[in-house]
Amino acid sequence: MSTAKATPGIDARHRRTCPGPRPDGKCCAASYQAHVFDKRTGKRIRKTFATRTAAKLWRADAARALRTGELSGERAPTLTDAVDQWLVALRSGQVCNRSGDPYKPSAIRGYEQTLRLRVLPHLGHHRLGEIQPRDVQALTDRLVKDGWSPATIDAALTPLRALYRRAVARGEARHNPTLRIEKPAVRPKTKHVASPAQAALLLHALEGADRALWAVTFYAGLRRGELIGLRWEDVDLATGIIRVQRGWDMVEAIEVAPKSRRGRRTVPVAATLRDHLDQHRLDTGGEHRVFASPNWVASANGRARARWETRGLPALTLHEGRHTFASLIIAAGVNAKALSTYMGHATIAVTYDLYGHLFPGSEAQAAGLLDTYLAREAGGSTVAQTVAQRAKTPC
Q: Are residues 135 and 42 in the same domain?
A: no
> What CATH number is attached to the domain comprising 117?
1.10.150
Q: How far apart are CA 236 and CA 246, in angstroms?
A: 16
Q: Would residue 142 count as lying in a domain?
A: yes
Q: Are residues 243 and 135 in the same domain?
A: no
Please say whether the beta carbons of 34 and 60 come within 8 A.
no
Query: What angle is formed at CA 27 by the lines to CA 24 and CA 31, rounded to 5 degrees?
Result: 125
At 42 the pLDDT is 76
Q: Would residue 147 count as lying in a domain?
A: yes
Q: Are residues 155 and 206 in the same domain?
A: no
Please give the DSSP secondary-structure letter assigned to residue 119. I
Q: Are residues 204 and 246 in the same domain?
A: yes
Q: Are residues 160 and 257 in the same domain?
A: no
Q: Are residues 224 and 329 in the same domain?
A: yes
Helix axis angle, 79-92 relative to 150-169, nearest 10°?
A: 80
Q: Are residues 203 and 257 in the same domain?
A: yes
2 — pLDDT class (breaks 50, 70, 90):
very low
Query: In sequence order, what are the beta bridge partners of 32?
Result: 12, 49
Q: Would residue 365 count as lying in a domain?
A: no
Tens of pLDDT, residues 204-240: 999 999 999 999 999 999 999 999 999 999 999 999 9
Q: Would residue 108 count as lying in a domain?
A: yes
> What CATH number is attached to the domain comprising 347?
1.10.443.10
Q: Would residue 189 count as lying in a domain?
A: no
Sheet holding 31-38, edge to edge: 10-13, 31-38, 43-49
CA nearest 63: which of 32, 35, 33? 35
Write down the pTM of the prediction. Answer: 0.68
Tens of pLDDT, residues 324-340: 999 888 888 888 898 89
Tens of pLDDT, residues 187-200: 877 778 899 999 99
CA nearest 321: which of 196, 194, 209? 194
Q: Are residues 295 and 220 in the same domain?
A: yes
For residues 102 and 260, the model is more confident at 102
Q: Are residues 57 and 93 in the same domain?
A: no
Helix axis angle, 318-331 relative to 348-355, nearest 10°?
A: 90
At 21 the pLDDT is 58
| Full domain range(s) for residue 153 | 79-169
Tens of pLDDT, residues 282-309: 999 878 899 989 999 999 999 999 999 9
What distance separates the 2 farthest-apart alpha carbons in the chain?
107
Residue type, 109: R
Please say whether the beta carbons of 36 and 57 come within 8 A.
no
Query: How many domains would you assign to the chain?
Result: 3
Q: Are residues 211 and 144 in the same domain?
A: no
Where residue 312 falls (left for φ over 0; alpha for ψ -120 to 50; beta otherwise) is left
Q: Are residues 311 and 203 in the same domain?
A: yes
Please say whether the beta carbons of 353 and 229 come within 8 A.
no
Inform me whether the pLDDT recorded for 379 exceeds 80: no
Q: Would residue 143 count as lying in a domain?
A: yes
16 — pLDDT class (breaks 50, 70, 90):
low
Q: Would residue 42 count as lying in a domain?
A: yes
- DSSP string of 208-266, one letter each residue: HHHHHHHHHHHHH---HHHHHH-BGGGEETTTTEEEE--EEETTTTEEE--SSGGGSEE
Please give the DSSP secondary-structure letter assigned to residue 102. B
At 108 the pLDDT is 94
Please say whether the beta carbons of 242 and 266 come within 8 A.
yes
Alpha helix (H) ranges present in 299-343? 300-310, 318-331, 336-343
Query: What angle is formed at CA 334 by the lines to CA 333 and CA 335, rounded to 5 degrees?
Result: 110
Instruction: Give the up-direction half-sphere exposure of residue 336: CA atoms within 13 A in the CB hemisphere.
Output: 15
At 363 the pLDDT is 59
Q: Would residue 107 count as lying in a domain?
A: yes
Average pLDDT, the chain: 85
Q: Are residues 49 and 85 in the same domain?
A: no
Please say whether the beta carbons of 35 and 8 come within 8 A.
no
Q: How far is CA 342 from CA 217, 222, 243, 289, in A?
A: 12, 9, 10, 21
Inform me whether the pLDDT recorded for 104 exceeds 80: yes
Taken as a whole, the chain contains a residue count of 395
Classified as helix, coil or strand, 274 is helix
